[in-house]
């Protein structure tokens, strides 16, 4: 079932615990490219064992790192997958079928987001995770702009949506959720500082309540029990922590 016109791209850094399983689900692609950013673990060895082409280097920003990965792919189509994501057989078959007679220049792929072994259906959004991503696209149609975390993308052409979801293991547990919140707000504060933006604490306080309500009520996070509470809390805290970190670092 290999799709010779498809390059599967994985951009990673020290992902030896996740990479093997990720690449095992990409065998249907005609080419696998693994771009490693300053990796010091066994990621390169694992990638080569899967007959992937390994590109190694150092990038400070997410945009140049992702764009280097796109440029390294040789196929006319690119499937962009992170190390903590898995392409199930149903999605692989749908991708192969879609590329035989492509009706669009890029495809949105729905996400099945997990915390630990639990599939969390409700409450996602904003920083926590998205319902769908444009990860299948013609080479040359997608570029990522500068930024350390969640940079904006530019994508052109006609869009379609696939039906089968990509499995995403977002966090292992509550401790992972805390660590990711701290890491991402650190990076977002640095981006804001580099852009010369002043802290907006008043706006962040207002967004604390609006984002929490959106996650827990509007997006039915309450259906997920304690995980829904955690998603709403972290979504609400994200802009507040960014502004607090920006304010304190501005005075250093």
| pTM given for the model | 0.90
| Predicted confidence (pLDDT) at residue 38 exceeds the cutoff of 70 | yes
Query: Which two structure tokens, joined as six digits, stand for 94?
Result: 């749908």
Same domain, 68 and 108: yes
Q: What DSSP element (H or E) covers 176? A: helix 174-194
d(CA 26, CA 206): 43
Q: Name the domain boundary from 145, 170, 195.
A: 170
Per the prediction, the chain carries an average pLDDT of 93
pLDDT at 44 over 80: yes
**Residues whose CB is less than 8 angstroms from the CB of residue 186 and which lie 6 or more positions away in sequence, other chains included:** 245
Please give the pLDDT value at position 149: 82
**108 & 197 share domain:** no
Q: Do 43 and 130 have their domain in common?
A: yes
Long-range Cβ contacts of 66-73 (<8 Å, 24+ apart): 66/11, 66/144, 67/143, 67/144, 68/35, 69/9, 69/11, 69/33, 69/35, 70/9, 70/139, 70/142, 70/143, 72/9, 72/33, 72/35, 73/7, 73/9, 73/31, 73/33, 73/139
123 shares its domain with 206: no
Task: Determine contact, residues 236/209, Cβ cutoff 8 Å.
Answer: yes
DSSP letter for each residue of 118-166: EE--SS--TTS--SEEEEEEETTSEEE-S-SSS--EEE-S-EEE-SSPE
Residue 237, Cβ density class (10 Å: 0-12 exposed, 13-18 middle, ≥19 buried): buried
Where a domain ends, among 139, 170, 201? Answer: 170
Q: How many helices (H) and strands (E) does the chain have?
A: 7, 12
pLDDT tens track for 207-231: 999 999 999 999 999 999 999 999 9
Same domain, 38 and 104: yes
Whether 214 and 124 map to the same domain: the answer is no
Question: Parallel, antiparallel, or unpaired: how do β-strands 106-115 and 118-119 relate?
Answer: antiparallel
User: What whole-number distance in Å separates Cα of residue 44 and Cα of residue 252?
Assistant: 39
The pLDDT tens digits of the residues spanning 190-205 come to 989 988 899 999 999 9
Domain of 56: which CATH number?
3.90.550.10
> 63-86, pLDDT tens digit by residue?
999 999 999 999 999 999 999 999
Q: Do 133 and 237 fall within a single domain?
A: no
Number of domain units in the chain: 2
Q: In angstroms, what is the C-alpha Rg of the chain?
A: 19
Under 8 Å between Cβ of 116 and 176: no
Instruction: Please report how many Cα atoms fall inside a 13 Å half-sphere around the Cα of residue 87, on the Cβ side.
Output: 27
Domain of 199? 174-250
Same domain, 43 and 150: yes
Q: Specify the DSSP class assigned to residue 196.
A: T
Cα 115–chain centre separation: 15
Q: Which of 140, 170, 200 is the last residue of a domain?
A: 170
Structure tokens at 206: 């207002």
Residues 198, 229, single domain; the answer is: yes
Q: Are 89 and 166 in contact (CB under 8 A)?
A: no
Answer yes or no: do 182 and 208 share one domain.
yes
Q: Do 22 and 144 belong to one domain? A: yes
pLDDT at 91 over 70: yes
Do residue 159 and residue 89 come from a single domain? yes
């Amino acid at each position: 079932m290999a799709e010779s016109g498809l390059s599967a791209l994985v951009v990673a850094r020290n992902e030896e615990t996740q990479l093997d399983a990720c690449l095992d689900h990409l065998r249907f692609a005609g080419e696998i490219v693994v771009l490693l950013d300053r990796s010091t673990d066994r990621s390169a060895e694992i990638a080569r064992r899967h007959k992937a082409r390994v590109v190694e280097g150092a990038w400070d920003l997410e945009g140049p790192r992702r764009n280097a990965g796109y440029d390294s792919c040789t196929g006319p189509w690119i499937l962009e997958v992170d190390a903590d994501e898995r392409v199930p057989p149903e999605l692989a078959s749908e991708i192969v079928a879609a590329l035989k007679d492509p009706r669009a220049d890029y495809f949105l792929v729905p996400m099945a987001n997990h915390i630990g072994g639990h599939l969390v259906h409700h409450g996602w959004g904003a920083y926590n995770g998205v319902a769908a991503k444009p990860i299948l696209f013609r080479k040359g149609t997608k570029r990522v702009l500068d930024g350390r975390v969640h940079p904006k993308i530019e994508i052109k052409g006609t869009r379609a949506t696939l039906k089968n979801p990509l499995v995403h293991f977002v966090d292992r547990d509550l401790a992972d959720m805390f660590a990711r919140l701290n890491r991402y707000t650190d990076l977002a504060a640095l981006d804001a500082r580099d852009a010369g933006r002043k802290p907006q604490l008043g706006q962040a306080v207002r967004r604390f309540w609006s984002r929490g309500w959106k996650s827990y009520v509007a997006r039915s996070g309450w259906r997920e029990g304690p995980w829904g509470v955690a998603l709403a809390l972290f979504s609400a805290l994200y802009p507040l922590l960014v502004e607090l970190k920006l304010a304190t670092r501005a005075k250093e």
